[in-house]
Amino acid sequence: MGNYTAIAEVGQSLVQVIWNAIAADPTLVALINKDLISLESPAEHADKQDTALLSIYLYGIVEDAYLKNRGSVEGPGGNSQRPPLSLDLYYLITPLLTDAADRQIVLGKVMQVLYDQATLVGPNLVGSLASAGDVVRVVLNPVPLNEIALVWQALETPYMLCVSYVVRVVLVQSTTVGGGARVTSVDQGFGARVPGAPGSG
């Protein structure tokens, strides 16, 4: 499981996976480069009027309901530790190229990449996620248009072509360690018989 940097590392991992696929495609390299893939919202780039061409924006974080009530895990020194915080991360992926056809081409490539590499593990992850051997899954999130429109409304930006994905489950290690060590053996010895006690003969 990752540490508190895990949320940021998921975004960095998505940029890495998407860019690796774009870099291998001569047609797409002519449209976009890694420096123009951003984790900022589309609204931030509209305000700056800069040259970002693809926004991978984290717009929502929810605790995973299925893993919320897990029991303690083994922590340092064999002590019990609170289970990791289990999160689902919601991303809005928006191509920002000027030409409408180019936006569709880039978005199509992104969706192809995340379909083919829906499970991110090992070299596809960065930082503490990679070193911990974590596995996260990237799932297309079929959000109704009216709900996506609310996100754009909150950003105070006109709607643009976009798609939503959820990345699950991102584990953030707890720092709370209990005082008791995990039970590893049971002593089943018996004491000496007390004279006169029932069954002592």
> pTM surpassing 0.85?
no
Tell me the average pLDDT across 50-70: 82
Which candidate, 99, 103, 127, 105, places its Cα nearest to that of 14?
127
Residues 47 and 155 sit within 8 Å (Cβ to Cβ): no
Residue 180's pLDDT is what?
Answer: 47
For the record, the structure tokens of 81 come out as 């530790």
Tens-digit pLDDT profile for residues 128-175 = 898 888 899 999 999 999 999 999 999 999 999 999 999 998 988 888
Which candidate, 165, 132, 133, 134, places its Cα nearest to that of 148?
165
Residue 45's pLDDT is what?
Answer: 75
